[in-house]
Structure 1
Amino acid sequence: MENTLHIIGGGMAGSEAAWQAANMGVQVVIHEMRPKVGTFAHQTGNLGEMVCSNSFRSDDHEQNAVGLLHWEMVQAGGLIMQTAYQHRLPAGGALAVDRDPFAETVTARLTAHPNITVSYDEITTLPETGHWIIATGPLTSGALADAIAAETGAEALAFFDAIAPIIYHDSIDMSRAWMQSRYDKGDTEEERTAYLNCPMTKDQYEAFIDALLAADKTEFKEGETAGYFDGCLPIEVMAERGRETLRFGPMKPVGLTNPHQPDVKPYAVVQLRRDNALGTLYNIVGFQTKMKYGAQKEVLRMIPGLEDAQFARLGGIHRNTFLNSPTLLDDQMRLRSKPHLRFAGQITGVEGYVESAAMGLLAGRMAAADILGHPIKDVPQETAMGALIKHITGGAEAKTFQPMNVNFGLFPPVEGLKGGRRGRKDRYKAYTDRAKALWTDWLGQSQLDAAE
C-alpha cells in the first residue's frame, strides 16, 4: 500500500516513530533485522532494546535540557518515555530503567497496536518508492550502510562507541562498598542510596591507573581512525589524557562518605548503578572500555569491593555510523536526493537514547502528516525538540559535525538574563519555561491542522 509508512529499525527512534504515526491513524510496518541478523551490542530481538547504559540521564525538566526533552516527549504521548517511567529504577536525579522489562513492554505495546505490523527482515538497499524512515541507529548493517554511502556520494562518517561492564550484585563485597547517591541526592531513602560506591586510596588509584594503561586493548583495523563521542569515552582514553582525569570524571570522590571509615576521605570512588528492578545487576558508571575481556576482569577486580566480581556482561567497543546530516537532510529530516526517505535517531547525528527517540517522534509525526495530506509546521527552535532538529539539519557546522547530546547551547538565548554561574539557574529556568509554552502551542496547533 502506497500510504503505508515503512520504518527500518526497531530501536528507540524506530519504535517511537512507529507509535506516533500509528496513533495518527497511519498503517506502519517496522522492519527489524534482529534476531535473524544480530549485532555486536544487542542481546535480544526486542524492540527498544537498551544496548549501553540503562540511564535516560537527568529527569530535571526545569534546569536540564535532557530533562526538558523528557517532558516534551511525555506531552506528545511518547511511548519510550511512558515506558521508561513505568520501569523506573532508583538513580537519584537521573531516570534509570530496568532494561529487559522496558524493552519487553515496548515490544508488547507496538505489536499489539492495530496499525502496526513488525516484519523481521533485513533491508539491504534503499527503497525507490513509498514512505520510509531509516532509523537503523549507529549499528546500521553493512549492506544498508554501503547503500546509504553510495547514495550520499561519500563515506558515512564514523566514530567509536564503548559499553560498560555489568556485575552481579551478590559478588560485590559490601563490607568494603556502601550505598549512597552523591550528596545524598533524592527525595526518598531509596533514591538517596541508589548508587553503590567502591572507595580507593591514593596508592590503589595509582596502581589501578598503571594497570589500566598497560592492559591489552582492542586494536583498530588498518585504515580505521579512532574518533570517540566525548560522552562515551573509554576509561583508557580518559586515563591517557592524564593520570588525574578519571578522578575528576567518573571516579570523583566528592559528595560521598564511607560509613566503614567515616573519618577517611577516599582519594577516588568507583560508582555502580542498579541495572534491573531485582537489584541483582549493577553497571559500572562511566566505565566504558575497550580492554580485552581477560584484561577487563583482571583490572576491574583491582577495585576495592570488586575483588571477586562476577560479570553478567563485559564491556566492549564497536563502530558507529552517522550521516553528515546538515548537508544531506532537509528540515523535515528527508534525504535531499530522495525525499521519500527520512532518517531518524542516532544515524542523524544526535547522541543518546532520549535524543534518538525524540527524533523518531518527530520523524514519525512528519511522515504521517505527509501521508495524511497535512504537512506539519516547523518545530520552534526554542524547544528541546526544535533545538535538536535545527542542529542536525543545518544549525551545525558541516565540516566539523559530530554526534551531539541536547544542551542549552543549542537554544536561542533568552534576552535580559545575567550570564555566568550566578545567573545560570534563572537562565535555565527561563529556557525551560519558554520551551514548555511553545511546545504546548505547537502540539495543539499540529492537532488542529490534522483535524481540518
Structure 2
Amino acid sequence: MTHDVHIIGGGLAGSEAAWQLGRRGVRVRLSEMRGSGTTTPAHQGDGLAELVCSNSFRSDDDERNAVGLLHHEMRQLDSLIMRAGEVARVAAGSAMAVDRDVFSAEVARELNALPTVSVVRERVDRLPHAGLTIVATGPLTAEELAQSIVAATGEDRLAFFDAIAPIVHRDSIDMDVCWFQSRWNKGDGKDYINCPMTREQYAAFHQGLLDGEKTEFREWEASTPYFEGCMPIEVMAARGFDTLRFGPMKPVGLDDPRTATPEFPQGRWPHAVVQLRQDNKLGTLWNMVGFQTKLKYSAQVELFRTIPGLEKAEFARLGGLHRNTFLNSPTLLDRQLRLRAAPHIRFAGQITGCEGYVESGAVGLLAGIMTACELTGRSWQAPPRTTALGALLAHITGDAEADSYQPMNINFGLFPPLPDIRKKARKEAYTARAKADLGAWQAAIAA
C-alpha cells in the first residue's frame, strides 16, 4: 500500500498516532522492528503497544489527579490507548490497570481493522530523507537509528544515560526555613532556593544515603557507565564524608539570612546546602540540584523529607538513573513536534521526553492529529495550556528549560497556576478549568 505517512515504532505513541491518522482516512505505514528478527532487551514479545514495565496507567480520577485528567481528555479525542485500556481493564481501585496481553492484542485488532493502516515488521536504521514521518521509537531506540537522529539533529549525542533528579512542588517548600539566593549573589537573586544543614543534620543525611535501599540495575543497564556529570548522589557520598560538601551540597557563597549577627549582617554559610533550581517557566516546579539517585522511591521520600525546609515536600517526580534515549525537545522540536532541521519528521512518545505510558500515548495522539491537519491543509490549533494535553505539549516544546530538560510525567505543576485558590480545592479547580477549555477547543477545531 502506498502511504501518506510513515510511522517508525509500534509502541503506545506510534500505535496511537497510526490510529488517529488511519481513522481520518490517511494511509499509514507503521514500521515495527520486533517481529522482524530484532528486539530490545526490555521487550518480551512482538505485540504492538507492549507494556514493558507496570501494567498500570495510574490514577483514573479525573477530578483531582493530573494523569486522570489526561485520561479524560484522551477519551474525548477517541484515543486508541484508552479504548483498548477499557477492554483490557482489571481491578485496581481508583487506578486504571490492564491485562497487558489483552491490551496489546486489542490495539493490534483495532489497527488491523483499519484499511488505511499497514503494519510492517521491519527495522528502520535511518531517518527518511523525504515524506511525512513520525518517529516513535521510545527510550530504547536501536543504535543505528539513534545515530541517524544524532546526525540529523546536529547534537553530539542523544542522552543515553538518563540522570533524573527529584522535582518538588514549589508550594510545598517551607520558605520560613529556606531562602532565595544564587551563589555569590550572581543572577537575579531568585535563581535558587537554599535548604541549610548543620553538621549534625548533614552527618545524618550522609549516613542515610549510604544506608538507604537502592534499586538494582536491570540486566540490560549493567554495561551503561556512570558519567561524572550525572553521578548518583549516593555514589558520591560513598567517596568520602565531605565529598558532597564540595559538590552538589557546597555551602560556599551562600549566606543564610537567619544566622545574621552584627558581625555577620548577611548571615553565615551553613555546613551544607541543598539547592533547588526552577524547573519550569511557571515557577511551580523546582528540581533538587545534583540529586540524581538510584535510591528506591520510598527511601527517597523518607530521606529527602529530613532536609530542612522539605519536611512536607510533595514530589512531582522522584529521582532515578537509567539508560534512556530522548531528545532535548525544547531546542530541537518546534511547537508541532517537528524536527527544526528536517520538518518533514515529527517525534512522538517517550523519545520527546515525556515519561509514562499515558503521556507517551498522548503525545502520539497529538502528533497524529497534527500530521492529519498538515495533510488536509487545516490549520493546527494547539490545545490550551490549561488542559493536560496542552500543558504536556508546552512542556516538551518550549516551557521546560532546555539546559536541564529531563523526562517528565504529567502533573499539575506544568499547568498555569490558579491564584487565590485554597490548596484543598486547587486540584478540582485545575480539572474543572481544563475540561471547560478542552470542550471549547474541540468545538473550535471541529468547526
Say yes or no: TM over 0.5. Answer: yes
| Structure 2 counterpart of 1:382 | 386
| Structure 2 counterpart of 1:127 | 128
Shift of 1:87: 1.3
**Is 2:351 the partner of 1:352?**
no
**Is 2:434 the partner of 1:432?**
no
Matches within 5 A, 1:27-46: 27-35=27-35, 36-46=37-47
Q: Which of the numbers 315, 331, 336 marks the counterpart of 2:335?
A: 331
**Is 2:12 the partner of 1:12?**
yes
**Is 2:55 the partner of 1:54?**
yes
SS for the counterpart of 2:62 is coil
Q: Which runs of 4+ in 1 moved over 6 A?
A: 213-217, 227-230
| Structure 1 counterpart of 2:70 | 69
Q: Whole-Å Cα distance in 2 between the matches of residues 40 and 233 of structure 1?
A: 23
TM-score by length of 2: 0.67
User: Is the CA contact 2:48–2:108 (under 8 Å) kept in the aligned structure 1?
Assistant: yes
**Is 2:406 the partner of 1:402?**
yes
Q: Deviations over 1:29-85 (max 9, x none)?
A: 101000221101111111110001111111110101100000000000001011112
Shift of 1:414: 2.3
SS for the counterpart of 2:25 is coil
Q: Whole-Å Cα distance in 2 between the matches of residues 356 and 139 of structure 1?
A: 14
| Structure 1 counterpart of 2:179 | none
User: Is the CA contact 2:214–2:295 (under 8 Å) kept in the aligned structure 1?
Assistant: no
Amino acid at match of 1:72: E
Amino acid at match of 1:371: L
Q: 5+ unaligned residues in a row in structure 2: which ranges?
A: 165-209, 233-286, 307-318
SS for the counterpart of 2:6 is strand
Q: Deviations over 1:172-228 (max 9, x none)?
A: xxxxxxxxxxxxxxxxxxxxxxxxxxxxxxxxxxxxx97966989846337587678
Q: Deviations over 1:113-142 (max 9, x none)?
A: 111001111111111111100000101110
Shift of 1:233: 6.8
| Structure 1 counterpart of 2:235 | none
Q: Whole-Å Cα distance in 1 between the matches of residues 390 and 216 of structure 2?
A: 43
| Structure 2 counterpart of 1:22 | 22
Q: 5+ unaligned residues in a row in structure 1: which ranges?
A: 163-208, 249-287, 290-316
User: Is the CA contact 1:160–1:227 (under 8 Å) kept in the aligned structure 2?
Assistant: no
Amino acid at match of 2:80: L
Q: Whole-Å Cα distance in 2 between the matches of residues 344 and 133 of structure 1?
A: 7
Q: Whole-Å Cα distance in 1 between the matches of residues 381 and 215 of structure 2?
A: 54
Q: Whole-Å Cα distance in 1 between the matches of residues 146 and 215 of structure 2?
A: 35
SS for the counterpart of 1:104 is helix
Shift of 1:109: 1.1
SS for the counterpart of 2:139 is helix
User: Is the CA contact 1:387–1:411 (under 8 Å) kept in the aligned structure 2?
Assistant: yes
CA gap 1:107/1:233 in 2 versus in 1, 3 angstroms: farther
Matches within 5 A, 1:49-448: 49-154=50-155, 155-160=157-162, 218=222, 220-221=224-225, 234=294, 245=303, 319-415=323-419, 417-418=420-421, 423-448=422-447
Amino acid at match of 2:369: R
Q: Whole-Å Cα distance in 1 between the matches of residues 14 and 432 of structure 2?
A: 29
Q: Whole-Å Cα distance in 1 between the matches of residues 130 and 215 of structure 2?
A: 53
Amino acid at match of 1:355: E
Q: Whole-Å Cα distance in 1 between the matches of residues 163 and 118 of structure 2?
A: 31
Q: Whole-Å Cα distance in 1 between the matches of residues 390 and 397 of structure 2?
A: 10
Amino acid at match of 1:319: R
User: Is the CA contact 1:14–1:135 (under 8 Å) kept in the aligned structure 2?
Assistant: yes
Amino acid at match of 1:20: Q
SS for the counterpart of 1:31 is strand
User: Is the CA contact 2:337–2:348 (under 8 Å) kept in the aligned structure 1?
Assistant: yes
Q: Whole-Å Cα distance in 2 between the matches of residues 77 and 88 of structure 1?
A: 17
Q: Whole-Å Cα distance in 2 between the matches of residues 92 and 340 of structure 1?
A: 43
SS for the counterpart of 2:134 is strand
Q: Whole-Å Cα distance in 1 between the matches of residues 388 and 107 of structure 2?
A: 23
Q: Whole-Å Cα distance in 2 between the matches of residues 436 and 237 of structure 1?
A: 32
Q: Whole-Å Cα distance in 1 between the matches of residues 352 and 8 of structure 2?
A: 14
Q: Deviations over 1:222-272 (max 9, x none)?
A: 758767899x97556875x69x55999xxxxxxxxxxxxxxxxxxxxxxxx
Q: Deviations over 1:335-367 (max 9, x none)?
A: 001110000000000000000000000000000
Name which of structure 1's ranges 108-117 and 324-333 shifts more when overlaid on structure 2: 108-117
Amino acid at match of 1:111: N
User: Is the CA contact 1:158–1:227 (under 8 Å) kept in the aligned structure 2?
Assistant: no
TM-score by length of 1: 0.67
CA gap 1:214/1:10 in 2 versus in 1, 3 angstroms: closer
Amino acid at match of 1:446: I
User: Is the CA contact 2:34–2:121 (under 8 Å) kept in the aligned structure 1?
Assistant: yes
SS for the counterpart of 1:118 is strand
CA gap 1:233/1:356 in 2 versus in 1, 3 angstroms: farther
User: Is the CA contact 2:3–2:29 (under 8 Å) kept in the aligned structure 1?
Assistant: no
Q: Whole-Å Cα distance in 2 between the matches of residues 223 and 413 of structure 1?
A: 36
User: Is the CA contact 1:111–1:117 (under 8 Å) kept in the aligned structure 2?
Assistant: yes
- Identity, % of aligned positions: 50
CA gap 1:139/1:213 in 2 versus in 1, 3 angstroms: closer
User: Is the CA contact 1:3–1:130 (under 8 Å) kept in the aligned structure 2?
Assistant: no
User: Is the CA contact 2:30–2:117 (under 8 Å) kept in the aligned structure 1?
Assistant: yes
CA gap 1:224/1:88 in 2 versus in 1, 3 angstroms: farther
Q: Whole-Å Cα distance in 2 between the matches of residues 52 and 161 of structure 1?
A: 19
CA gap 1:233/1:11 in 2 versus in 1, 3 angstroms: farther
Q: How large is the Cα RMSD of the aligned pairs?
A: 3.4
